[in-house]
Every structure is written in C-alpha cells, then in structure tokens.
Amino acid sequence: MISRFSRPALRIANVRQWPQQARCFAHPVNLNMIDSEFNAPASEKALYKNEFVQATPAEHQEMMATATKPPVVHDTMELMPAHSGDPHQTYGVADWRHVHYDIAREPTFPRKPDLSKGELASGAQVVRTDVWHDPSEPAITSIAKFSPENFRPVGWAENAPMPTSTCPEGTLDFHENRLPTGHADRRPWIYFLAAGSGFVASSLVRVIACKLVHTMWPAKDVFAAGVVEVDLRQMRMGQNFVCKWRGKPVFIRRRTPEMIEDARKDDSIVASFREPATDAERCIKPEWLICEGICTHLGCIPVPDQGNYGGYFCPCHGSHYDYAGRIRLGPAPKNLPLIPTEFLDENTVKLG
C-alpha cells in the first residue's frame, strides 16, 4: 500500500505536470468533497468562532438595553479602534469577503452542537440531529427557537454600534428645528401636499383622457366625406347617376313612371323574395331610388339597365336586381343596401 505522503513524489515523477494550487486572497485551496481523516467538514473547521447567544428577539432587545457598553463619544476620533474584517474570524485573511469559507463536504449526519458552549445550531445540524429536542415542550415550539433571528454572536449586545447621530458636535443639521411627526403645525403642509398631489394626478388623468378621445376622434375630412349633398336638377328621367359617399359608389336613379309601375306590380309577391321589401319601403320618394352601388354577393359593381328585371346586373356572378334594387335572381343574399338620405328641397338630397 502506498501511503498518502508518497503521492506527491509520484506526481512529480510523472510526465504530465499537475498545475500547482496556490491559495488566492479569500479563496479556498481545494474543493474537498471526499471523506478522510485529515479533511474535516466545513462546519468543524475553525475559521470562525462558533460562539452565539440563543434567545428570542425581545430578549436580545433587552440585552441591548441592559448591557454594559463602551463610553459614549461625540467625536469620530474618540471611537474605540477595532480589527478590520469580521471580529469573529480566527486568522487574518478573507477580510470583507464571503468566499473565504472552504468549499468542503458536509457529513450526512453532522456532529450534534453543544449549546452549553454557545455553539451555533443551524441548517443540517438542526434537521439531522436531535439538538432541538426538548421533552418538556411541544416539538414545534422547540424548533421555533432555532430560527436565525434568535441567534446573536457573543458580545453583540456590548459591542454593537448604536449611533444617535451621524453629525459631529457643532455641525448644523437643523435637527432641533424639525417638528415631531404628530405635531399640529405639520398638518397645513400635509394638507397642501395632499391637495397639490391630487391636483397634479387629476390633471394627468384629464390630459390622458383628452388625448385618448382626440386620438380616436375622426378627422375633419372624414366628417366631410360622411355627408354629401347632391344636386338633382342635372339628372334626366331614367338616368342612373353614380356619386361617391364614404369611399363607396352610390346609385341615384330617377325612375320613370313605367319603372315605378314595374317595381310596384311585384309587391304582391314580395313575401317570396330573398329579402322581402316593398317599393315604398325602399324609395322615400317614388321618383328616386338611392342605394349603394355594391353587389351584396362579393362586392362587385352592378351594371345599370341590365339583367332579367331591367334594374341592375352584376357581371361577376350573375345577380339580377329590379328597379327598386331588390335581389331577384342570382347568388347575392340581400338587396342593394340603402343609405341614410334626407331631401333638403325638391332638387337637393343629403347623403349621410
């Protein structure tokens, strides 16, 4: 058997050179993850003093109030000198760093801490040992005592800094000029601040609401395009005039008496139409038919004075409309759509 002391010699003799490990500042030397007689677990290494006081937070506060503390000083030069870094470390490296803990394995069943010596019980030392067990009280009460806020390092109550001011004597910080929180003279300022904040908040809400409404509001050209006035004096009898309203073609037909009679004679069979509507329901004035010039099938523009019924014919798929714009034959599902109209006088009509 080769002892562990002869292993370095074998490594040196080997052709392959192993990189030499050096302890950097506040960094572990090795990642010891195996059990051995010379590699103690991290919880057993004496990097820090394992001396703590276990008590409730209220008891710690009482200790802070009753402990004998160093004399009060009023100048930073009179402060008691302290060692740099953690006062609980046992050797002078790893100041102000957290990586100085050695990365080593922990045993599955760690050693039970001795609370009588002030040893800290936390983590695996609590859950994998019976250090928490107290037969005189419920288990949940015993376990609650090992919460982290119940532990303070030994000497904390005596040495914890408790400054009453960060300004040395003679420095003007206007501390005496400040009113207490509940003082009556502070209320006007609080009222003013609340009112000012409310005014600013309401103004922001108003601005946002106005901007939102104005953003969604249609532009003036859209309003202008939504209302169109048409002069009817230029149209001849039987003519189908085409104008533009809201970007869509509109048919305005001045019907002859024959067209009106031909459209009204079919009112008796209107119940059999695909979209039943009488001639009077589609024409406010019998002489004028005003409807959209878009086929209700797939949006083509019908041709006037064509088809089996003389009104309109869609050449795309063969829909036939009569002189009232009602669908009579073909795939179109509905009549030509009517639009809002208003006759301003005998010769002017407003669309929209």
pLDDT, tens digit (0-9, with 9 covering 90-100), for 59-96: 988 998 888 887 877 776 776 655 444 544 444 444 44
Which ranges constitute the DSSP H helices of the chain?
7-13, 57-66, 124-127, 139-144, 156-159, 187-216, 220-226, 257-264, 279-282
Q: Give the residues across from 245 on adjacent strands.
A: 248
d(CA 141, CA 43): 25
Let me know if 252 is exposed, middle or buried by CB neighbors in 10 A (0-12, 13-18, 19+).
buried
Is 214 assigned a catalytic role? no
Task: Answer whether 26's CB lies under 8 Å from 85's CB.
Answer: no
**Structure letter (DSSP) for residue 89:** B
226-351: CATH class: mainly beta
Catalytic, out of 60, 88, 183, 317? 317
**Structure letter (DSSP) for residue 39:** B
Q: Which residues contact 18 (CB under 8 A, 6 or more apart)?
A: 11
Question: Distance between alpha carbon 348 and the CA centroid of its chain, in Å?
Answer: 57
Let me know if 322 is exposed, middle or buried by CB neighbors in 10 A (0-12, 13-18, 19+).
buried
Distances, alpha carbon 131 to alpha carbons 33, 112, 116, 146, in Å: 25, 6, 11, 10
Q: Hey, is 144 helix, strand or coil?
A: helix
End-to-end CA distance of the chain: 106
Task: Answer whether 290's CB lies under 8 Å from 338's CB.
Answer: yes
Please give the pLDDT value at position 195: 93
Please give the pLDDT value at position 306: 87
**Structure letter (DSSP) for residue 186:** G
d(CA 28, CA 42): 11
Residue in 272, 305, 303, 253 with CA at minimum distance from that of residue 317: 303
Q: Give the residues across from 53 on adjacent strands.
A: 152
The overall pTM is greater than 0.95:
no
Radius of gyration of the chain (CA): 48
Please give the pLDDT value at position 32: 58
Residue 165 identity: S
Tens digit of each residue's pLDDT (9 = 90 or more) over 289-320: 889 888 988 888 898 888 888 889 998 888 99
**Structure letter (DSSP) for residue 40:** -
Q: Hey, is 350 helix, strand or coil?
A: strand
d(CA 64, CA 224): 81
Please give the pLDDT value at position 20: 39
d(CA 146, CA 141): 10
d(CA 332, CA 314): 9
d(CA 30, CA 21): 8
Domain boundaries, the chain: 190-218, 226-351
Low-confidence ranges of the chain (pLDDT < 70): 1-50, 76, 79-106, 168-169, 175, 222-226
